[in-house]
Amino acid sequence: MVALLGNLLHKPELHFRMAWRAPAVGRNLYLLTAGVLGAMAWGAAMGSHVGRAHLWITTIKMPLFLLFTLALCFPLMHITLLLGGVKARSAQTLTVALSGLSTLAICLGACAPVVGLFCASAPIPSMASYLNLYVLCLACGVLAGIAGLRVLARGMRSLCGGPVRAPLIAWALIYQFTGAQVAWVLRPWIGSSYGVDGYSLSHGLSGNFYMGVWAVLMRWLKEIGA
Protein backbone atom coordinates (compact mmCIF):
# COMPACT_ATOMS: atom_id res chain seq x y z
CA MET A 1 0.00 0.00 0.00
CA VAL A 2 2.90 2.37 0.75
CA ALA A 3 4.20 2.08 -2.82
CA LEU A 4 0.68 2.56 -4.22
CA LEU A 5 0.12 5.74 -2.19
CA GLY A 6 3.56 7.05 -3.10
CA ASN A 7 2.82 6.70 -6.80
CA LEU A 8 -0.69 8.09 -6.35
CA LEU A 9 0.53 11.29 -4.71
CA HIS A 10 3.87 11.76 -6.44
CA LYS A 11 3.58 9.99 -9.81
CA PRO A 12 -0.11 9.62 -10.70
CA GLU A 13 0.74 8.76 -14.33
CA LEU A 14 2.71 5.72 -13.13
CA HIS A 15 -0.07 4.88 -10.68
CA PHE A 16 -2.63 4.63 -13.48
CA ARG A 17 -0.32 2.79 -15.90
CA MET A 18 0.15 0.14 -13.22
CA ALA A 19 -3.57 0.18 -12.38
CA TRP A 20 -4.62 -0.79 -15.89
CA ARG A 21 -2.25 -3.80 -15.84
CA ALA A 22 -3.30 -5.15 -12.42
CA PRO A 23 -6.59 -6.60 -11.10
CA ALA A 24 -8.92 -3.73 -10.28
CA VAL A 25 -10.46 -5.20 -7.12
CA GLY A 26 -7.32 -5.32 -5.00
CA ARG A 27 -6.11 -1.87 -6.03
CA ASN A 28 -9.52 -0.31 -5.44
CA LEU A 29 -9.68 -1.88 -1.97
CA TYR A 30 -6.31 -0.33 -1.10
CA LEU A 31 -7.51 3.06 -2.36
CA LEU A 32 -10.76 2.70 -0.42
CA THR A 33 -8.92 1.81 2.79
CA ALA A 34 -6.52 4.74 2.49
CA GLY A 35 -9.37 7.14 1.77
CA VAL A 36 -11.45 5.93 4.71
CA LEU A 37 -8.51 6.28 7.12
CA GLY A 38 -7.76 9.80 5.90
CA ALA A 39 -11.41 10.79 6.16
CA MET A 40 -11.67 9.38 9.68
CA ALA A 41 -8.64 11.39 10.78
CA TRP A 42 -10.17 14.57 9.38
CA GLY A 43 -13.54 13.80 10.97
CA ALA A 44 -11.94 13.22 14.36
CA ALA A 45 -10.13 16.56 14.09
CA MET A 46 -13.39 18.36 13.30
CA GLY A 47 -15.22 16.60 16.13
CA SER A 48 -12.58 17.65 18.64
CA HIS A 49 -13.95 21.22 18.55
CA VAL A 50 -17.16 20.32 20.38
CA GLY A 51 -15.83 17.08 21.88
CA ARG A 52 -17.98 14.55 23.75
CA ALA A 53 -19.97 12.32 21.38
CA HIS A 54 -19.12 14.55 18.40
CA LEU A 55 -15.60 13.11 18.34
CA TRP A 56 -16.72 9.65 17.27
CA ILE A 57 -19.79 10.88 15.37
CA THR A 58 -17.76 12.99 12.97
CA THR A 59 -15.09 10.26 12.73
CA ILE A 60 -17.77 7.96 11.31
CA LYS A 61 -19.69 10.55 9.32
CA MET A 62 -16.78 11.89 7.26
CA PRO A 63 -16.00 8.64 5.37
CA LEU A 64 -19.73 7.97 5.07
CA PHE A 65 -20.16 11.42 3.55
CA LEU A 66 -17.44 10.87 0.92
CA LEU A 67 -18.42 7.32 0.00
CA PHE A 68 -22.19 7.83 -0.01
CA THR A 69 -21.75 10.84 -2.27
CA LEU A 70 -19.58 8.79 -4.63
CA ALA A 71 -22.16 5.98 -4.69
CA LEU A 72 -24.92 8.43 -5.64
CA CYS A 73 -22.80 10.17 -8.27
CA PHE A 74 -21.01 7.20 -9.83
CA PRO A 75 -23.56 6.24 -12.55
CA LEU A 76 -23.81 9.84 -13.77
CA MET A 77 -20.04 10.28 -13.56
CA HIS A 78 -19.47 7.17 -15.68
CA ILE A 79 -22.01 8.28 -18.29
CA THR A 80 -20.43 11.75 -18.37
CA LEU A 81 -17.04 10.16 -18.99
CA LEU A 82 -18.41 8.14 -21.90
CA LEU A 83 -20.19 11.17 -23.39
CA GLY A 84 -16.92 13.09 -23.11
CA GLY A 85 -15.25 10.61 -25.43
CA VAL A 86 -13.38 8.63 -22.77
CA LYS A 87 -13.84 4.93 -23.44
CA ALA A 88 -13.70 3.46 -19.96
CA ARG A 89 -15.07 0.36 -18.32
CA SER A 90 -17.00 0.83 -15.11
CA ALA A 91 -14.12 -0.70 -13.11
CA GLN A 92 -11.71 1.82 -14.65
CA THR A 93 -14.06 4.70 -13.87
CA LEU A 94 -14.24 3.49 -10.27
CA THR A 95 -10.43 3.34 -10.05
CA VAL A 96 -10.13 6.92 -11.32
CA ALA A 97 -12.87 8.14 -8.96
CA LEU A 98 -11.42 6.35 -5.92
CA SER A 99 -7.93 7.60 -6.77
CA GLY A 100 -9.10 11.22 -6.76
CA LEU A 101 -11.28 10.76 -3.69
CA SER A 102 -8.54 8.96 -1.76
CA THR A 103 -6.07 11.71 -2.62
CA LEU A 104 -8.48 14.32 -1.28
CA ALA A 105 -9.10 12.32 1.91
CA ILE A 106 -5.39 11.60 2.47
CA CYS A 107 -4.55 15.29 2.13
CA LEU A 108 -7.32 16.19 4.58
CA GLY A 109 -6.02 13.52 6.95
CA ALA A 110 -2.54 15.03 6.73
CA CYS A 111 -4.02 18.39 7.77
CA ALA A 112 -5.97 16.80 10.65
CA PRO A 113 -3.34 17.25 13.41
CA VAL A 114 -3.06 20.99 12.76
CA VAL A 115 -6.82 21.46 12.46
CA GLY A 116 -7.39 19.27 15.53
CA LEU A 117 -5.06 21.48 17.58
CA PHE A 118 -7.02 24.60 16.60
CA CYS A 119 -10.38 22.87 17.15
CA ALA A 120 -9.45 21.57 20.59
CA SER A 121 -8.11 24.95 21.76
CA ALA A 122 -10.83 27.20 20.27
CA PRO A 123 -13.36 28.52 22.82
CA ILE A 124 -17.00 27.41 22.63
CA PRO A 125 -19.28 29.13 21.86
CA SER A 126 -17.42 31.85 19.99
CA MET A 127 -18.30 33.29 16.58
CA ALA A 128 -14.70 34.46 16.12
CA SER A 129 -13.31 30.97 16.70
CA TYR A 130 -15.93 29.42 14.41
CA LEU A 131 -15.01 31.90 11.67
CA ASN A 132 -11.31 31.17 12.05
CA LEU A 133 -11.94 27.43 11.94
CA TYR A 134 -14.16 27.76 8.87
CA VAL A 135 -11.44 29.68 7.07
CA LEU A 136 -8.80 27.12 8.08
CA CYS A 137 -10.97 24.19 7.00
CA LEU A 138 -11.82 25.94 3.74
CA ALA A 139 -8.13 26.43 2.98
CA CYS A 140 -7.41 22.77 3.72
CA GLY A 141 -10.38 21.70 1.60
CA VAL A 142 -9.27 23.81 -1.36
CA LEU A 143 -5.74 22.42 -1.26
CA ALA A 144 -6.99 18.84 -0.91
CA GLY A 145 -9.53 19.39 -3.68
CA ILE A 146 -6.87 20.68 -6.08
CA ALA A 147 -4.73 17.62 -5.34
CA GLY A 148 -7.71 15.33 -5.96
CA LEU A 149 -8.60 17.05 -9.24
CA ARG A 150 -4.97 16.73 -10.37
CA VAL A 151 -5.14 12.97 -9.89
CA LEU A 152 -8.55 12.76 -11.59
CA ALA A 153 -7.19 14.62 -14.62
CA ARG A 154 -4.21 12.26 -14.89
CA GLY A 155 -6.51 9.25 -14.64
CA MET A 156 -8.87 10.47 -17.35
CA ARG A 157 -5.95 11.41 -19.60
CA SER A 158 -4.40 7.97 -19.19
CA LEU A 159 -7.63 6.44 -20.50
CA CYS A 160 -8.17 8.68 -23.53
CA GLY A 161 -4.78 10.29 -24.18
CA GLY A 162 -6.40 13.64 -24.96
CA PRO A 163 -7.99 16.72 -23.37
CA VAL A 164 -10.25 15.95 -20.41
CA ARG A 165 -11.33 19.43 -19.31
CA ALA A 166 -15.06 18.96 -19.99
CA PRO A 167 -15.54 15.63 -18.14
CA LEU A 168 -13.27 16.81 -15.31
CA ILE A 169 -15.35 19.95 -14.75
CA ALA A 170 -18.55 17.89 -15.01
CA TRP A 171 -17.30 15.46 -12.36
CA ALA A 172 -16.34 18.29 -10.01
CA LEU A 173 -19.76 19.94 -10.36
CA ILE A 174 -21.70 16.68 -9.99
CA TYR A 175 -19.82 15.65 -6.86
CA GLN A 176 -19.95 19.12 -5.31
CA PHE A 177 -23.67 19.59 -5.97
CA THR A 178 -24.59 16.17 -4.57
CA GLY A 179 -22.05 16.27 -1.74
CA ALA A 180 -23.43 19.55 -0.42
CA GLN A 181 -26.86 17.97 0.05
CA VAL A 182 -25.42 14.77 1.54
CA ALA A 183 -23.54 16.91 4.07
CA TRP A 184 -26.82 18.67 4.88
CA VAL A 185 -28.58 15.33 5.48
CA LEU A 186 -25.73 14.17 7.72
CA ARG A 187 -26.06 17.14 10.06
CA PRO A 188 -25.06 18.05 12.75
CA TRP A 189 -21.66 17.22 11.20
CA ILE A 190 -22.17 20.24 8.94
CA GLY A 191 -24.28 23.03 10.38
CA SER A 192 -24.98 23.83 14.00
CA SER A 193 -23.31 21.24 16.23
CA TYR A 194 -22.91 23.09 19.51
CA GLY A 195 -25.27 21.70 22.10
CA VAL A 196 -26.46 18.87 19.80
CA ASP A 197 -25.75 15.38 21.14
CA GLY A 198 -27.87 13.25 18.84
CA TYR A 199 -28.79 12.86 15.19
CA SER A 200 -32.26 13.03 13.69
CA LEU A 201 -32.82 11.82 10.13
CA SER A 202 -36.01 13.89 9.88
CA HIS A 203 -33.98 16.95 10.88
CA GLY A 204 -31.41 16.21 8.19
CA LEU A 205 -34.06 15.69 5.50
CA SER A 206 -35.77 19.01 6.22
CA GLY A 207 -34.93 21.64 3.61
CA ASN A 208 -31.72 21.54 1.62
CA PHE A 209 -28.18 22.87 1.71
CA TYR A 210 -28.81 25.77 -0.65
CA MET A 211 -31.89 26.99 1.21
CA GLY A 212 -29.85 26.81 4.42
CA VAL A 213 -27.01 28.87 2.94
CA TRP A 214 -29.53 31.44 1.65
CA ALA A 215 -31.18 31.70 5.09
CA VAL A 216 -27.81 32.21 6.80
CA LEU A 217 -26.86 34.85 4.23
CA MET A 218 -30.13 36.73 4.73
CA ARG A 219 -29.72 36.59 8.52
CA TRP A 220 -26.18 37.92 8.23
CA LEU A 221 -27.26 40.78 5.95
CA LYS A 222 -30.05 41.66 8.37
CA GLU A 223 -27.65 41.73 11.33
CA ILE A 224 -25.26 44.11 9.60
CA GLY A 225 -28.16 46.30 8.49
CA ALA A 226 -27.67 45.81 4.76
- pLDDT band at residue 223 using 50, 70 and 90 as cut-offs: low
* Cα–Cα distance for residue pair 207/101, rounded to 1 Å: 27
Amino acid at 166: A
Would you kindly state where each structural domain of the chain is located, as residue ranges?
Answer: 2-168
More confident residue, 204 or 78: 78
* Cα–Cα distance for residue pair 162/159, rounded to 1 Å: 9
114, 43 Cβ separation under 8 angstroms: no
More confident residue, 87 or 225: 87
Task: Tell me the pTM.
Answer: 0.84
Nearest to 36 by CA among 28, 26, 48: 28
pLDDT at 100: 95
Question: pLDDT for 65-94, tens place per residue?
Answer: 999 999 999 999 999 998 888 888 899 999
Please tell me the chain's helix, strand, coil percentages from 3-state DSSP, rounded to the nearest 5.
Answer: 80, 0, 20
- pLDDT band at residue 194 using 50, 70 and 90 as cut-offs: very low
More confident residue, 42 or 133: 42
pLDDT at 123: 75
pLDDT at 46: 86
Question: pLDDT for 170-192, tens place per residue?
Answer: 999 999 889 888 888 876 544 44
3-class SS of residue 120: helix
- pLDDT band at residue 196 using 50, 70 and 90 as cut-offs: very low
pLDDT of 209 > 50? The answer is yes
